[in-house]
Amino acid sequence: MTSTYNRSVSWISVRGFLARLIPSLTLMFVTVMPSMAADFYWVTAAGEWNDTDVGGTSLSNWSLTPGGSPTGSFPDDSGDTATIDTGGVLMDGDTITTGDLDITGSSGSLTILGVPGISSFLTVSNDFNNNGTLTFDSTGNGGSRLTVSGGTLTNTGTIRLKFGTGISHTRTITAHVQNQDTLEIEANTIAQFNKSFGAITNTDSFNVAAGAEATFGTSSVFTQAGGTLNNQGTFTLSSDTFDFNGGTVTANPPVILNSALNIGPSSTGAATFEVRGLASTLSGDVAVAQTLNVQGINGLSAVGTAATSFTNRGRVNLDGTGNGGATLKLTSGTLTNAGGAELNFKATTATARTLQANLLNDGTVNIDKDTAFSKASALTTNRSLINISSGAKLTFATNSTFTQAGGTHQ
């Protein structure tokens, strides 16, 4: 009796244990099963990304083989790849995720469209290569947003950020961007390149239309490496970096607000930059066709600080509006104002202008407003022309040395 009782208890215990174990194993199996990622190819002339009942067929606009028959699904997984060679794809108030996205043909297109009350969100987990046309647009108060979370948006076609017909005109790209062809921000559109520590590089045509705005995420780096940055609107870097390594910058000057401006040694193209805020830094020489404005604005002073010596071969202006002061500072070394160059202390506001640096002048220094050369024990050498306008004053800090080595001081 004792033995039979023990076996019975043992079986009941085992049966209870298995009853508890099997659901757990099932849950583990379901949890660790990988998603069925696939390669998708767009195969229709035009349609919506996530339509799975095209023409009442229970099929989508995508195939699992290039040029193949439509399938019943569409790319919406971080492991999927999506390829658009020809045809127009529309995201219409949708939220979509895919792994890699390639618009391979010049006649292929993708429109990310916000609609009334609904934004469109596209997330690309790896790389997005656009050789066709990528458009951001809206017809209501919905936004239009792209995130490339693990790779780079490389543009060898056209990217258009459109104003749209609704009340929301903000277009958002959260990605590293390599623009190798045309990127256009339409008039009055707000374009946010808002990836923190993002890298945006232009080697061809980056256009900001009149009334449009381009802003950038914290600690972003915009590199003008070639081609043209044509800024008819506003282009503002705040706590960011602008690397000017090639090409030209035309129309309105980019605003360098508490940011770093680095002018590369081979960068000789035309450009004007406006330095604002108390914490902007400068490096590199100013070329013949370039202008650097250190500009206080609306009672807020501007300070541009260079860590070491640099040469101005173009034009450096210390200026301000609304009683904003302007200071140019070298932590060490000498500011050389080369032959043919101008260093201008302008008289647009009542606030004084300040230079904290040693100065070697072989060009022209124009002092149109009370100006202080405020570096203690500084060396100032004039070998060309220093003009002090009527009513303006030039003062020097303690133990400074002024050397008139040639030219004129008047």
As a whole number, the mean pLDDT across the chain is: 91
The whole-number pLDDT of residue 140 equals: 82
* CA–CA gap between residue 184 and residue 169 (Å, rounded): 14
The whole-number pLDDT of residue 31 equals: 39
On whether both 26 and 65 belong to a single domain, the answer is: no
On whether both 294 and 335 belong to a single domain, the answer is: yes
Convert the pLDDT of each residue in 72-124 to its tens digit.
Answer: 999 999 999 999 999 999 999 999 999 999 999 999 999 999 999 899 999 99
Q: CB neighbours (10 Å) of residue 335?
A: 22
**Over the range 85-95, which residues count as b (16 or more CB within 10 Å of their CB) and which as e?**
bbbbbbbbbbe
Spatial CA neighbour of 175 closest among 156, 143, 157, 149: 149
On whether both 160 and 88 belong to a single domain, the answer is: yes
On whether both 29 and 82 belong to a single domain, the answer is: no
On whether both 15 and 157 belong to a single domain, the answer is: no
On whether both 1 and 128 belong to a single domain, the answer is: no
Convert the pLDDT of each residue in 18-67 to its tens digit.
Answer: 445 444 444 443 333 445 799 999 999 999 999 999 999 999 999 999 99
On whether both 111 and 24 belong to a single domain, the answer is: no
Phi/psi of residue 385, each to 5°? -140, 125
Convert the pLDDT of each residue in 340-362 to its tens digit.
Answer: 999 999 987 768 899 999 999 99
Give the rounded percent of residues in the chain with a pLDDT score beyond 90: 84
> Does residue 4 or residue 134 have the better pLDDT?
134
H or E element at residue 3:
helix 2-32
- CA R_g for the chain: 31
Residue 166: is its pLDDT beyond 90?
Answer: no
Range of 141's domain? 39-409
Convert the pLDDT of each residue in 388-400 to its tens digit.
Answer: 999 999 999 999 9
On whether both 28 and 44 belong to a single domain, the answer is: no
Q: In whole angstroms, how far apart are CA 188 and each of 195, 234, 237, 250?
A: 22, 10, 18, 19
Q: Where are the beta strands (DSSP E) in 265-301?
A: 271-276, 280-283, 290-297
* CA–CA gap between residue 85 and residue 384 (Å, rounded): 62
Phi/psi of residue 337, each to 5°? -100, 100
On whether both 20 and 107 belong to a single domain, the answer is: no
Spatial CA neighbour of 232 closest among 279, 189, 201, 181: 189
The whole-number pLDDT of residue 20 equals: 52
Mean pLDDT of 187-214: 97
* CA–CA gap between residue 280 and residue 68 (Å, rounded): 56
Convert the pLDDT of each residue in 210-261 to its tens digit.
Answer: 999 999 999 999 999 999 999 999 999 999 999 999 999 999 999 999 999 9
Give the position of tokens 């606030």.
351
Query: Total domain count for the chain?
Result: 2
> Whats the size of the chain, residue-wise?
410
Sign of the Cα pseudo-torsion (360, 313, 352, 258, in order): negative
Angle, CA of 151, 152 and 154, to the nearest 5°: 150
Residue 298 confidence class, pLDDT cut points 50, 70, 90: confident
The whole-number pLDDT of residue 65 equals: 97
On whether both 123 and 24 belong to a single domain, the answer is: no
Task: Name 199's bridge partners.
Answer: 221
Q: Please write down the long-range contacts of 168-171, taking CB distance under 8 Å and 24 or more positions apart.
A: 168/114, 168/138, 168/140, 168/141, 168/142, 168/143, 169/138, 170/143, 170/144, 171/136, 171/143, 171/144, 171/145
On whether both 24 and 168 belong to a single domain, the answer is: no
3-state DSSP assignment of residue 372: strand
* Helical segments of 229-372, H only: none
Structure tokens at 356: 């904290």
The whole-number pLDDT of residue 19 equals: 47
On whether both 24 and 167 belong to a single domain, the answer is: no
